[in-house]
Homo-oligomer: A and B are copies of this chain.
Amino acid sequence: MTAVMKTVGYAHRHPKRKQITFRPIGIIRSALREPENRDWDDVVSEIRIDRKWAEGLKGLEDFSHIIVLFYLSRSIGIRLQTHPKGREDLPLVGMFATRSPHRPNPIALTICRLLKRKGTRLTVKGLDAIDGTPVIDIKPYIPDNDLVKRARVAKWIHRLRSNRV
């Protein structure tokens, strides 16, 4: 990154902006404590937002779905290319063409159902994160922004689906 950032306008004006520092806004509580290659659709877990952000959650319960950004704190190392889900029958593709955790900034994004908000505790369904995962941000799912009706995907995605273990 260094070389490129030095040559572009923004970094010129802010040469020290090479690192971006975030702090968790909360933590995920789940019965699932170890990473698993499983179907998470029916997993219910709780997001506990730090109390100092309580007011910032007002009205979130009016949305049926939320976008959760969380930190893959147990992801170690970057794999530039990977077989999706570790399946060698699928092609080797770039990490940015997959949702692999082994990426330069190990941040995950999952859209899940918000079942309930009680103060700073959000009960969610379908969040594929283990107990203790730090949460970076929560956003409402807004179809006008976030819904793509006819997206084209790589062929391996179809194979992933049809051969679901």
Interface residues in chain A, defined as those with a beta carbon under 8 Å from any beta carbon in chain B: 1-12, 14-15, 17-27, 35-38, 40, 48-53, 55-60, 62-65, 67, 69-76, 78, 80-81, 85-86, 91-105, 107-111, 128-134, 136-148, 150-155, 157, 161
A73, B24: Cα distance in complex, Å: 18
Inter-subunit contact A129/B3 (CB<8 Å): yes
Closest-CB distance, A134 to chain B (whole angstroms): 7
Q: Cβ of A97 and Cβ of B148 under 8 Å apart?
A: no
Assembled-state Cα–Cα distance A52/B21 (Å): 22
Q: Which residue of B lies closest to A132 (CB)?
A: B10
A132 touching B4 in the complex, CB below 8 Å, given contacts A23-B104, A153-B143:
no
Given contacts A4-B72, A4-B74, A55-B81, contact A136 B20 (CB under 8 A): yes
- Chain B residue numbers with a CB within 8 Å of A48 are 4
A14→B109 CA distance, assembly (Å) = 22
Q: Which residue of B lies closest to A74 (CB)?
A: B7
Q: Are A97 and B140 in contact (CB under 8 A)?
A: yes
Q: Is the CB of A3 within 8 A of B73?
A: no
Q: Which residue from chain B places its CB closest to the CB of A17 in the assembled complex? A: B73
* Residue in contact with A5 in the complex, picked from B35, B64, B145, CB distance below 8 Å: B35
